[in-house]
Chain A
Amino acid sequence: MKPDVARKSRTRATGAPPIHSRFQAWGVNHAQALVFSLGRLYRNPFTAALTLTVIAIALALPAGLWLALKNLQAASGEWDHGAQLSVFVADSVSEDTLRVLAGRIQSMDAVESARAITREEALAEFRALSGFGEALDLLDHNPLPALVLVTPAADHQGPSRVQALSVELEALEEVTQAQVDLQWVQRLQAILEMTRRGVALVAVLLGLGVLLVVGNTIRLDILNRRREIEVAKLVGATDGFIRRPFLYGGLWLGLFGGVLALIIVGVGLALLNGPVQQLATLYGSDFRLEGPGLAGALGLLGLAVALGLGGSWIAVGRHLRDIEPR
């Protein structure tokens, strides 16, 4: 047993390494804390899986709702621009007069195009698209009126303009009714707006939930490692040193929770896309579900990491200070 271990104590009392080495070690220490906290997740796979699933579901739910909204908006936007007016014409009006009327409407400033649809054409279209063809055969006369399909000019697409145009068209002698096909779109927009608020509310609540789940997980981790923390404090660990692995633990929870949430959203999209496309085809649209995109995915991951870090920060700030060696 040689006494050389303690001999140098007089020359360098605190035994601190040189500054450049400490700075390098600081980086190494961060990396170690990062890997160490990852290793803890790996060593407790069941607990980690449970926590991550809760976080992922809490993130995937608002993300999925948000995507659904985005897609609905995209779909309704498509219809919005195709706002049309159905101008119904009295049954007494002949086909020739109908075409003349369409020409007159076509020449109006507010109108992009006007297409005349005779009673027979309307019946044929209805028979083809509605699936009620056989029911129509039971009728002894054509119940459908002739109409002019009017597409407003690009600068007359706004709801009030279209409304004004419909009033103008209704004033025409041959016209019985001008119907704006926009009303249900407007209602849908209002519903979407309401739903957006609801989704925002749910997102905030679930985000808070993620914060608390991470916070609680880290809190339990801190309590489980109380002894380790005490010993580290006894040999001179700073709060920062002790905090680090826990903060990184929260970061991993957030990141992996976010990745899992993206997977859930992706699987959900894949499952829904088939039926949605089928439905779109029935409506004569080539609409397809839109994913979150790169920006959306990165945003979700960033939010997840922020929530993870935030949750662990709360737990760490609240509990680390309480643990002091006795």
Chain B
Amino acid sequence: MILCQNVVKRYPGGQEALSQVSLRMDEGAMAYLTGHSGAGKSTLLKLISLIERPTRGRITVNGQHLNTLPRRKVPHFRRSIGIIFQDHHLLHDRTVFDNVALPLVILGYRSPEIARRVRAALDKVGLLHKERARPVTLSSGEQQRVGIARAVVHKPAVLLADEPTGNLDPDLSREIMNLFLQFNQVGVTTLIASHDLELITTLGKPILRLEAGRLVDTGAPPAPLHAGAPA
């Protein structure tokens, strides 16, 4: 569950990235976050994943009040969420397998269990045959899928994605979005920032629209014309 109450984020210099943003996502819900560049999509995701802290307002994720969470507890909080970035943040000196295994190594799993889970996650994103490859040898669509496998390998309750299809062509983008829909189907609360309105309006999930740091559209279902099961 994600709950934001009157969240304000002001950067040094007075620029207000988010103004009085309130939103509520129940456990197992899925939504898209859209808006122009600089509207505050990334900022909101950073606040929810505790990469940054809000200037004012309360944020609660999985029942944890992030405002009062001390610094030393941040790692434990991060383990309950999966984060996906536009530039996928992969480590290029390690294999695909090792990249995906990182969250499990940190959690303290033993190698047979790590291998089993990593392969399951890679299988899920269709990259099991690439586990020995280095990320640089993969296409950007494949790299993004490695990033997704890493974000879900430890089975987080919340999945956050910041422009996961930013660099991909429409077919690949749809493929990636379908993956997210599948994760959501098994109960993962999923919030995806994307400016690809054309694509996300066809996916049948609520769309939250940010404009200059304000939430102007709090998740009305998409137009009936586009509603329906994902492709």
Q: Which residues of A contact B (CB under 8 A)?
A: 1-10, 12-17, 21-22, 24-26, 28-29, 32, 227-228, 230-239, 241, 324-326
Contact = CB atoms under 8 A, between A and B. Distances in A.
Contact residues of A: prevailing secondary structure: helix
Interface stretch (B8-16, B181-189, B198-206): B181-189
A237 B109 contact: no
Given A5-B124, A5-B152, A8-B155, A238 B75 contact: yes
B146 interface: no
Given A25-B110, A325-B51, A235 B79 contact: yes
A1 B179 CA distance: 9
B106 A15 contact: no
A3 B180 CA distance: 10
Given A6-B187, A231-B102, A234-B89, A15 B126 contact: no
Contacts of A241: 75, 106
B107 A16 contact: yes
B83 A234 contact: yes
A57 B3 CA distance: 60
B113 interface: yes
Contacts, number: 130
A29 B102 CA distance: 12
B197 interface: no
Nearest to A325: B51
B136 interface: no
A254 B51 CA distance: 35
Contacts of B108: 16-17, 21-22, 25-26, 29
B30 interface: no
B164 to A, nearest CB: 15
Interface residues of B, number: 46
Interface in B77-98: 77-80, 83, 89-91
A236 B78 contact: yes
A16 B154 CA distance: 8
B79 A14 contact: yes
Contacts of B60: none
B107 to A, nearest CB: 6
B6 interface: no
Interface in B1-33: 28
Residue among A1, A5, A230, A233 with most chain B CB within 10 A? A5
Contacts of A32: 105
Contact of B120 (A5, A29, A237): A5
A232 B186 contact: no
23 contacts: A2-B123, A3-B124, A3-B183, A5-B152, A6-B124, A6-B182, A9-B155, A10-B157, A10-B187, A12-B155, A13-B156, A15-B107, A21-B110, A21-B113, A24-B110, A32-B105, A233-B75, A234-B51, A235-B103, A235-B106, A236-B76, A236-B78, A237-B75
Closest 3 A/B residue pairs (Cβ): A25-B108, A236-B79, A236-B78
A24 B188 CA distance: 29
A235 B102 contact: yes
B186 A21 contact: no
B110 A235 contact: no
B209 interface: no
Most central of B80, B117, B121 by chain A CB within 10 Å:
B80
Given A228-B91, A231-B91, A9 B187 contact: yes
Nearest to B28: A10
A17 B113 contact: yes
B186 A236 contact: no
A6 B106 contact: no
B124 A15 contact: no
A236 B185 contact: no
B150 interface: yes
A137 to B, nearest CB: 83
